[in-house]
Amino acid sequence: MPHPVPPPLLIRGGTIQTADTTSRGDVLIRDGVIAAIGRDLEAPTGVGIVDAGGLLVMPGGIDPHTHMEMPFMGEVSTDDFRTGTEAALSGGTTMIVDFAIPSPGGSLVEAWRVWSERAAKAVCDYSFHVCVTHWSDSVAGEMATLVRDHGVNSFKHFMAYKGALMVDDGVLLESVGHALSLGALCNVHAENGDAVAHLQKALLASGVRGPEGHALSRPPAVEGEAAQRIIAIADLLGAPIYIVHVSTKDATDAIARARAGGQRVFGEVLAQHLVVDESVYASGDFGSVAAHVMSPPFRPKSHQAALWAGLASGQLQTTASDHCCFCAPQKAKGRDDFTLIPNGTAGVEDRMSVLWHHGVRTGRLTPAEFVSITSTNTAKIFNIHPRKGAVSVGSDADLVLWDPDGSRTISARTHHQRVDFNVYEGMQVTGLARSTITGGRLAWHDGALRTVSGTGRYISRPPFAPICFPARA
Ligand SMILES: NC(=O)NCCC(=O)O
Ligand SMILES: [Zn+2]
Ligand SMILES: [Zn+2]
């Protein structure tokens, strides 16, 4: 059953912060979209009024990389689309893009359908990148069907996870070339899966079985090589490319070089990689080290400066969480063999606060750049701007009322994410979502969620995003 249209809302007296401008004004929301913006707007009868005095009114965050209830490495990630999107809203994020992954050798359209069923309980809007994990004529046909009939404009490829999700260069060449003809953007997890498997084998043979082996098996060069390779493949084909979770100076430099040469290469950074470093793997405590096992792993601190600089300079365009929750009993599967620890950490709730605190408050980012990298750039790259990622008349009323001076301490004891660990545990952050509005609904207000299962909508994304593809003749 369709949900009733939310009643009108008037956001009064905030500072409207977008990727381009800062201005004082009110925002009137009607039928889930922004109906008017201006000073001292008249309040229509029956309108709900939200006081935004002292707050920034910004486009809600868009997290382009989450994994809700994903089957992976023999486990299923614990946040589902309801709990995960509630956590997102409490942190100021109003849309996620998750990944639909086909079963081995299976149908992409079926994967899209399975993920659509799972996401029916979401409380904020969502969309799916669809993964290409093998190649055949039927995969090519399904990619076309997904673009034409299902609003998919991005396909994901894993260069890592050998023997599971990994694809080789042959598949990459076919898929990136085909996606180009469809006007779809390929996303790539850039780590050399053969090199990882080789190093894992060597580490196990030398007696390294504990979770500290994870980072040792995935040194920065593993990412740097794969990033350069996919950039070269994309260049060969004349295709745009989007590299997910860039965690190293090596990959950042490869992207910057390619862009300087005129290639359209986009890079995404996880908030985790900006502020957590490889020292977390040295504690000797299995539970804590395993909880930090994710791919790419946390890096030597020296890489973080390159990631921050990449975001500030525009060489890297988006930020994400790669939200993928596994609890301690699931991580314990790899107690005697680090290669069996399910890879993933949480972060959909904290991305915005971490970026504000460590980015804007330190002067690394301006407030406008914060909006660009948490929302607007993602909306442009995945072709949903200005419906999303904007505060403009006609845009969806997906907004966060941001308190730039409000503080909180991040903890697994208080977060909304359905997981028993938080990589930011104990971090005090300044900058938080006072209220979050999704599709015109006030869904997070004064520390309380007011969500209704299934109010999130699937967002179709048309092909040929103008920021990725040159004009067609
Ligand atoms: N990142 C991670 O460790 N788990 C989720 C799957 C992926 O994005 O590689
Ligand atoms: Zn990945
Ligand atoms: Zn991921």
Q: Which ligand is nearest to the CA of 64?
A: 3
Question: Given this model, what pLDDT does residue 1 score?
Answer: 67
Residue with structure tokens 């860039």?
Answer: 246
Q: How confident is the model at residue 147 (pLDDT cuts 50, 70, 90)?
A: very high
Q: How far out from the chain centre does Cα 415 lie?
A: 18
Please give the average per-residue pLDDT across 183-209, as a whole number: 98
187 alpha carbon – ligand 1 mean position (Å)? 13
Question: Given this model, what pLDDT does residue 182 score?
Answer: 98
Q: Tell me if 297 sits within 8 A of 215, measured CB to CB.
A: yes
Q: What are the structure tokens assigned to 188, written together?
A: 């790539």
Report the nearest-CA residue for atom 7 of ligand 1: 295
Please give the average per-residue pLDDT across 49-61, as a whole number: 98
Question: Given this model, what pLDDT does residue 4 score?
Answer: 85
List pLDDT tens digits, range 272-297: 999 999 999 999 999 999 999 999 99
Q: What are the structure tokens assigned to 372, written together?
A: 């660009």
Helix (H, G, I), strand (E, B) or coil at 368: helix
Residue 471 in this model has a pLDDT that exceeds 90: no
Q: How confident is the model at residue 3 (pLDDT cuts 50, 70, 90)?
A: confident
Question: Given this model, what pLDDT does residue 210 score?
Answer: 97
Q: Tell me if 462 sits within 8 A of 185, measured CB to CB.
A: no
Report the nearest-CA residue for atom 9 of ligand 1: 295
Partners of 430 in the beta sheet?
A: 407
107 alpha carbon – ligand 1 mean position (Å)? 21
Q: Residue 349's closest CA among 124, 179, 183, 37?
A: 124
Amino acid code (one letter) for 173: L
Question: Given this model, what pLDDT does residue 449 score?
Answer: 98
Q: From the alpha carbon of 161, which atom of ligand 1 is closest? A: 9
Question: Given this model, what pLDDT does residue 94 score?
Answer: 98
Exposure pattern of 313-340 as b/e (b: 16+ CB <10 Å)?
A: eebbbbbbbbbbbbbeebbbbbeeebbe
Instruction: Report how far residue 419's alpha carbon sits from residue 437's, in angstroms, rounded to the nearest whole number.
Output: 25
319 alpha carbon – ligand 3 mean position (Å)? 12
Helix (H, G, I), strand (E, B) or coil at 291: helix
> Prior bond to 8 cis, omega within 30?
no
Please give the average per-residue pLDDT across 217-235, as a whole number: 98
Q: Tell me if 130 sits within 8 A of 155, measured CB to CB.
A: yes
In terms of residue numbers, what domain contains 212? 1-473
Phi-psi region of 431 (alpha: psi -120 to 50; beta: other; left: phi over 0): left
Q: From the alpha carbon of 343, which atom of ligand 1 is closest? A: 3
Instruction: Report how far residue 62's alpha carbon sits from residue 44's, in angstroms, rounded to the nearest whole number.
Output: 30
Report the nearest-CA residue for atom 5 of ligand 1: 344
100 alpha carbon – ligand 2 mean position (Å)? 13
**CA torsion, ordered 129, 198, 328, 430, to nearest 10 deg:** -60
In the 8-state DSSP scheme, what is residue 15? E
The CATH number covering residue 89 comes to 3.20.20.140
Measured over the CA atoms of residue 390, residue 395, residue 398 and residue 400, the dihedral's sign is: positive
The residues, ordered by sequence, that sit 6+ positions from 198 with a Cβ below 8 Å of its Cβ are none
Report the nearest-CA residue for atom 1 of ligand 1: 295
Q: Tell me if 24 sits within 8 A of 16, measured CB to CB.
A: yes
Integer distance in angstroms from the first to the last C-alpha of the chain? 43
Report the nearest-CA residue for atom 8 of ligand 1: 322
Instruction: Give me Rg for the CA atoms of the chain.
Output: 21
Ion ligand 3 nearby residues (CB, 5 A):
322
Please give the average per-residue pLDDT across 372-387, as a whole number: 98
In the 8-state DSSP scheme, what is residue 296? S
Instruction: Report how far residue 96's alpha carbon sits from residue 348's, in angstroms, rounded to the nearest whole number.
Output: 9
Report the nearest-CA residue for atom 2 of ligand 1: 344
358 alpha carbon – ligand 3 mean position (Å)? 23
Q: Which ligand is nearest to the CA of 273?
A: 1
Looking at the 3D structure of the chain, how many domains does it have?
A: 1
Q: Are strands 441-445 and 448-449 parallel, antiparallel or unpaired?
A: antiparallel
Q: Which ligand is nearest to the CA of 343?
A: 1
Residue with structure tokens 């893009």?
Answer: 97
Q: Tell me if 14 sits within 8 A of 27, measured CB to CB.
A: yes
Residue with structure tokens 């995404």?
Answer: 268
Residue 397 in this model has a pLDDT that exceeds 70: yes
Pocket test for ligand 1, best of 167, 192, 244, 322 (most atoms within 8 A of CB): 322
Residues having CB closer than 6 A to ligand 1 are 67, 189, 294-295, 322, 324, 343-344
Calculate the average pLDDT of the chain.
97
322 alpha carbon – ligand 1 mean position (Å)? 6
Q: Residue 151's closest CA among 177, 126, 169?
A: 126
Pocket test for ligand 1, best of 129, 156, 244, 294 (most atoms within 8 A of CB): 294
Measured over the CA atoms of residue 356, residue 357, residue 359 and residue 362, the dihedral's sign is: positive
Phi, psi dihedrals of residue 445, rounded to the nearest 5°: -150, 125
Q: Residue 461's closest CA among 108, 184, 96?
A: 184
Q: Which ligand is nearest to the CA of 344?
A: 1
Pocket test for ligand 1, best of 65, 67, 293 (most atoms within 8 A of CB): 67
In the 8-state DSSP scheme, what is residue 359? I
Question: Given this model, what pLDDT does residue 2 score?
Answer: 74
Please give the average per-residue pLDDT across 115-133, as a whole number: 98
